[in-house]
Structure 1
Amino acid sequence: MSRPRSGTLIVKTDYSLDVVLRDQLRYLAGTPLAPVRTASDDSGRLERVRQREGVETHVLSLERDPAPATDLRTLAQLIRLMRDVRPYRVIYGTPKATLLGGIAAWVCRVPVRIQILHCLRLETTTGILRRFLLETERLAIRLATHTVAVSNGLRDRLGELGVDVSGVDVIGKGSVVGVDRDRAGTIGSDQVLRAAQRERVGADDDEVVVGFVGRVTRDKGIEELVRAVAALRDVGTRARLVLVGQDEGVDDLADDVRAALDAPWVTRAGNLADPAEVFAAFDVFCLPSYREGLPTVVLEAWATGVPVVATSCTGIVDLVEHGATGLLVEPHDDRALAAALHRMIDDEALRDRVRANAFTEVDEHFDRVGVWERCARYFLDAQPARRARKT
Structure 2
Amino acid sequence: MNLRVLHIIDPEGAAGTCALRLLAESCDNLPGTEQEVLLLGPTPVEKQARDAGLSDFARIAPPLKNPALAVPGLRQFLRNNRPFHIIHSWSVPAYTLGALALGTRRRLLTLTMPPADVRSGHWLRMLMEYRPGNVLAVSNTVAAAVRRRGLKEGSVHVLRPGLKFSMLDHSLRSTLRDKWQVNDETRVVALLGEPAGSCDAWLAWRVFAALRVAGNDACFLVPPGARAVREARERARAMGWGHRFLVEEKVKTPWQVLPACDAALFAGDDRVPDDSPPPLLTWNSGTAAARMPGLMPVLWAMACRTPIVAEASYGISEILEHNHSAQLVRPGDIWGLVKALQSVTEDPQSSWEMRDTACSEAFSFFSRRRYCDDLAGVYEQLAEGLPVRVPDLPVTGGVRFASVR
On whether the aligned pair clears a TM of 0.5, the verdict is: yes
The one-letter code sitting in structure 2 at the alignment partner of 1:137 is L
* 2:236 paired residue number: 260
Query: Would you say the 8 A contact 1:115–1:144 is kept in 2?
Result: no
- State the Cα distance separating 1:361 from its structure 2 match: 0.6
Query: Would you say the 8 A contact 1:232–1:342 is kept in 2?
Result: yes
* 1:237 paired residue number: 216
Whole-angstrom CA distance in 2 between matches of 1:261 and 1:304: 31
Query: Would you say the 8 A contact 1:152–1:170 is kept in 2?
Result: yes
Q: How does 1:80-159 map to 2 (within 5 A)?
A: 80-82=76-78, 84-85=80-81, 86-105=83-102, 108-110=103-105, 112-122=106-116, 130-142=117-129, 143-159=131-147
- State the Cα distance separating 1:286 from its structure 2 match: 0.8
Query: Would you say the 8 A contact 1:312–1:328 is kept in 2?
Result: yes
* 2:5 paired residue number: 8
Query: Would you say the 8 A contact 1:151–1:293 is kept in 2?
Result: no
Q: How does 1:1-391 map to 2 (within 5 A)?
A: 7-13=4-10, 16=17, 20-21=21-22, 23-24=24-25, 26-28=27-29, 30-44=30-44, 46=46, 49=50, 55=56, 57-62=57-62, 67=64, 70-82=66-78, 84-85=80-81, 86-105=83-102, 108-110=103-105, 112-122=106-116, 130-142=117-129, 143-171=131-159, 174-175=160-161, 178-184=162-168, 187-188=169-170, 190=171, 193-214=172-193, 219-243=198-222, 245-250=223-228, 258-260=234-236, 263-271=242-250, 275-290=254-269, 291-292=291-292, 295-383=295-383, 385=385, 387=387, 390=390, 391=392
Query: Would you say the 8 A contact 1:166–1:389 is kept in 2?
Result: no
Relative to structure 1, the CA distance from residue 160 to residue 167 in structure 2 (aligned partners, 3 Å threshold; closer, same or farther) is same
- State the Cα distance separating 1:54 from its structure 2 match: 6.1
Q: Counterpart of 2:315 in 1: which secondary structure? A: coil
**Aligned residue pairs: how many?**
359
Query: Would you say the 8 A contact 2:250–2:256 is kept in 1?
Result: no
Whole-angstrom CA distance in 1 between matches of 2:228 and 2:27: 36
The one-letter code sitting in structure 2 at the alignment partner of 1:179 is L
Query: Would you say the 8 A contact 1:5–1:87 is kept in 2?
Result: no
Whole-angstrom CA distance in 1 between matches of 2:149 and 2:233: 32
Whole-angstrom CA distance in 2 between matches of 1:26 and 1:157: 28
Whole-angstrom CA distance in 1 between matches of 2:234 and 2:127: 36
- State the Cα distance separating 1:21 from its structure 2 match: 4.1
Query: Would you say the 8 A contact 2:18–2:253 is kept in 1?
Result: no
- Can you give the 5+ residue segments of structure 2 that lack an aligned partner in the other structure? 270-290, 393-405
The one-letter code sitting in structure 1 at the alignment partner of 2:6 is L
Whole-angstrom CA distance in 2 between matches of 1:213 and 1:35: 30
- State the Cα distance separating 1:288 from its structure 2 match: 0.9
The one-letter code sitting in structure 2 at the alignment partner of 1:150 is V
- State the Cα distance separating 1:350 from its structure 2 match: 3.8
Query: Would you say the 8 A contact 2:207–2:335 is kept in 1?
Result: yes
Whole-angstrom CA distance in 2 between matches of 1:377 and 1:183: 25
- State the Cα distance separating 1:42 from its structure 2 match: 4.5
- State the Cα distance separating 1:237 from its structure 2 match: 1.0
Whole-angstrom CA distance in 2 between matches of 1:272 and 1:294: 14
Query: Would you say the 8 A contact 1:293–1:315 is kept in 2?
Result: no
Whole-angstrom CA distance in 2 between matches of 1:41 and 1:384: 33
Q: Counterpart of 1:20 in 2: which secondary structure? A: helix
The one-letter code sitting in structure 1 at the alignment partner of 2:87 is V
Relative to structure 1, the CA distance from residue 240 to residue 379 in structure 2 (aligned partners, 3 Å threshold; closer, same or farther) is same
Whole-angstrom CA distance in 2 between matches of 1:207 and 1:229: 13
Whole-angstrom CA distance in 2 between matches of 1:205 and 1:301: 19
Structure 1 range deviating more: 33-42 or 140-149 = 33-42
Query: Would you say the 8 A contact 1:284–1:309 is kept in 2?
Result: yes
Whole-angstrom CA distance in 2 between matches of 1:294 and 1:218: 11
- State the Cα distance separating 1:357 from its structure 2 match: 0.7
Relative to structure 1, the CA distance from residue 216 to residue 378 in structure 2 (aligned partners, 3 Å threshold; closer, same or farther) is closer
Query: Would you say the 8 A contact 2:68–2:93 is kept in 1?
Result: no
Whole-angstrom CA distance in 2 between matches of 1:23 and 1:98: 19
- State the Cα distance separating 1:364 from its structure 2 match: 0.9
Relative to structure 1, the CA distance from residue 88 to residue 113 in structure 2 (aligned partners, 3 Å threshold; closer, same or farther) is same
- State the Cα distance separating 1:153 from its structure 2 match: 1.4
Whole-angstrom CA distance in 2 between matches of 1:17 and 1:62: 22
Whole-angstrom CA distance in 2 between matches of 1:233 and 1:247: 24
- State the Cα distance separating 1:241 from its structure 2 match: 0.5
- Can you give the 5+ residue segments of structure 1 that lack an aligned partner in the other structure? 123-129
The one-letter code sitting in structure 2 at the alignment partner of 1:133 is S
- State the Cα distance separating 1:182 from its structure 2 match: 3.4
Provide the alpha-carbon RMSD of the alignment. 3.3
The one-letter code sitting in structure 2 at the alignment partner of 1:81 is F
The one-letter code sitting in structure 2 at the alignment partner of 1:374 is D
